[in-house]
Amino acid sequence: MKEISCKLLVIGAGPGGYVCAIRAGQLGIDTVIVEAGRPGGTCLNVGCIPSKALIHAAEEFEKVSHMAGGKSPLGISLAPPSLDLAKTVAWKDAIISRLTSGVAGLLKKAKVKTVQGWATFRDGKTVAVETETGTQVIRAETVVIATGSAPVELPFLPFGGPVISSTEALALSAVPGKLAVVGGGYIGLELGIAFAKLGAEVTVVEALPRVLAQYDAELTRPVVKRLAELGIEVLTGAKAKGLASEGQAGKGQAGKGDALLVETSDGKNARVAADKILVTVGRKPLTEGFGLEQIDLDRAGKFIRIDDQCRTSMRGIFAIGDVTGEPMLAHRAMAQGEMVAEIVAGHKRSWDKRSIPAICFTDPELVTAGLSPEEAKALGGEIKIGLFPFAANGRAMTKLGEEGFVRVVARADNHLVLGIQAVGQGVSELSAAFGLALEMGARLEDIAGTIHAHPTQGEGFQEAALKALGHALHV
């Protein structure tokens, strides 16, 4: 094949990679992007988008199930519903297809050349791509590594048979009768809750003392309450030990009598019956198989070390997204990708992650942006905290969403907002306001003095700021 030369080469067409390439193309930079799979990466194909589709389907099914059971306080009654999960998955796949086609179209519009295949570094400026038609060599002035991440596999619970990752969970053709979820983080609980609503008996096994340990206990309390209401059994302080088939521990394939072996918090051994065992114990950066040993980049643990401009230890090589560490969020990768493209174009840019919102699409949803109360206190100095419950919010009541609150954390001396958190129905849509407030350096008075539309859940944000100032109006 004829060798390709370009100014910018992007390896990986996930959210960070494709945004970087599109922005570079818009800026007139000769750009090539390499991707082994479909455009969109994990997020679009087997992560963010398909999981939210499944979560939405589960929410709708639970609603009509309550109506059929005469449990709806709205006075609506229906015949008992049924679910065709294969049809649900087909609907989800159609959304993914539309979006991946859209990404491919945007790359083409920005005049970005796409090479389909697996890229391997030969040196800091040269990459060989194994394509369907042979090896394509690409030379670039600047390279961006955006290879993403993959689910962590436990050595005693290897993927296969009844043991699945989130990828397989999002492609099941039928709802498992019994589902064991190993890992009580956001991925495990998002999917565990969805399958519980679809009719599965769900057990969550978490080694730490509580689920969603990355969030403070006050914020997660409504989620824990909801888990119990959904009939989800939660085993905290418990360790998964392996797969047992017909009474024996082992790594066999799915079969009658399969169970997850668990060491409970009191040190006893137990068996959790399961048709499927979903392992969600984290994600690891995809750094192997790309020939990174040829360029010997500095690492930060498992991740590629970067500075505030996403530069690596080698001149002319940037890294963005999950491969660079936490927070492993698609919108972080997108922001980094856009920034790197502008740096390559000669613009002055730098990276600051303080105002990145993080969302957990459990029921109810969780949103955090900036510092938690504990993190703010650790900085020293006094802080003010304002918390407004949705039980006092009219719009939340009309949506049967009284559970939860909005909380604002600010400095006591100058009222600078340091962090904002919320838990409740649909609070993911408040994340933009939270991020904007932190990005703009808002103070409590700015939020309290902004007229918020009534009736909306967003009023809880204003009321939380008023509460921190000592004069909430509706609580």
pLDDT recorded at residue 62: 95
Q: What is the mean pLDDT of the chain?
A: 95
**What is the average per-residue pLDDT within 341-366?**
94
Q: What contacts 385, CB < 8 A, 6 or more positions away?
A: 373, 407, 408, 409, 410, 468
Q: For the segment 105-142, what is each residue's pLDDT rounded down to a tens digit? A: 999 999 999 999 999 999 999 999 999 999 999 999 99
CATH number of 163-281: 3.50.50.60
Helix or strand or coil: residue 443?
strand
Task: Find out if CATH 1.10.10.10 is the number for domain 358-469.
Answer: no
- What does DSSP assign to residue 452? P
**What is the average per-residue pLDDT within 187-205?**
98
Q: Is the pLDDT confidence value at 471 over 80? A: yes
pLDDT recorded at residue 248: 44
Please state, in angstroms and rounded to a whole number, the distance separating the CA atoms of residues 211 and 204: 9
Q: For the segment 316-336, what is each residue's pLDDT rounded down to a tens digit? A: 999 999 999 999 999 999 999
pLDDT recorded at residue 244: 86
Q: Is the pLDDT confidence value at 255 over 50? A: no
- What does DSSP assign to residue 152? P
pLDDT recorded at residue 249: 40
**What is the average per-residue pLDDT within 343-350?**
95
471 carries an active-site annotation: no
Q: What contacts 409, CB < 8 A, 6 or more positions away?
A: 370, 371, 372, 373, 376, 383, 384, 385, 417, 418, 419, 420, 421
- What residue spans define the domains of the chain? 4-54+86-150+284-344, 163-281, 358-469
Q: What contacts 348, CB < 8 A, 6 or more positions away?
A: none
Asked if omega into 327 is within 30° of 0 (cis), the reply is yes
pLDDT recorded at residue 380: 93
Q: Is the pLDDT confidence value at 247 over 60? A: no
Q: Is the pLDDT confidence value at 252 over 80? A: no
pLDDT recorded at residue 69: 87
Helix or strand or coil: residue 92?
helix
Same fold, 4-54+86-150+284-344 and 163-281: yes
| High-pLDDT (> 70) share of the chain, % | 97
For tokens 């560490």, name the residue: 325
Q: How many CA atoms within 13 Å lie on the side-chain side of 373?
A: 14
Catalytic residue (choose from 66, 454, 471, 474): 454
Please state, in angstroms and rounded to a whole number, the distance separating the CA atoms of residues 397 and 402: 5
Give the pair of three-digit tokens for residue 145.
């590594």
Residue 253 binned pLDDT confidence (cut-offs 50, 70, 90): very low
Q: Is the pLDDT confidence value at 189 over 50? A: yes
pLDDT recorded at residue 85: 96
| CATH superfamily of the domain spanning 4-54+86-150+284-344 | FAD/NAD(P)-binding domain (3.50.50.60)
**What is the average per-residue pLDDT within 341-350?**
96
Q: For the segment 431-458, what is each residue's pLDDT rounded down to a tens digit? A: 999 999 999 999 999 999 999 999 999 9
Q: For the segment 41-62, what is each residue's pLDDT rounded down to a tens digit? A: 999 999 999 999 999 999 999 9
Q: For the segment 257-313, what is each residue's pLDDT rounded down to a tens digit? A: 589 999 999 999 999 999 999 999 999 999 999 999 999 899 999 999 999 999 999
pLDDT recorded at residue 70: 87
Residue 245 binned pLDDT confidence (cut-offs 50, 70, 90): low
Helix or strand or coil: residue 475?
coil
pLDDT recorded at residue 68: 92
Minimal CA–CA distance to 200: which of 277, 269, 123, 255?
277
CA distances for 27 relative to 13, 279, 322, 339, 346, angstroms: 18, 42, 25, 12, 10
pLDDT recorded at residue 183: 98
pLDDT recorded at residue 367: 98
pLDDT recorded at residue 328: 96
| High-pLDDT (> 90) share of the chain, % | 94
- pTM (predicted TM-score): 0.94
**What is the average per-residue pLDDT within 379-385?**
96
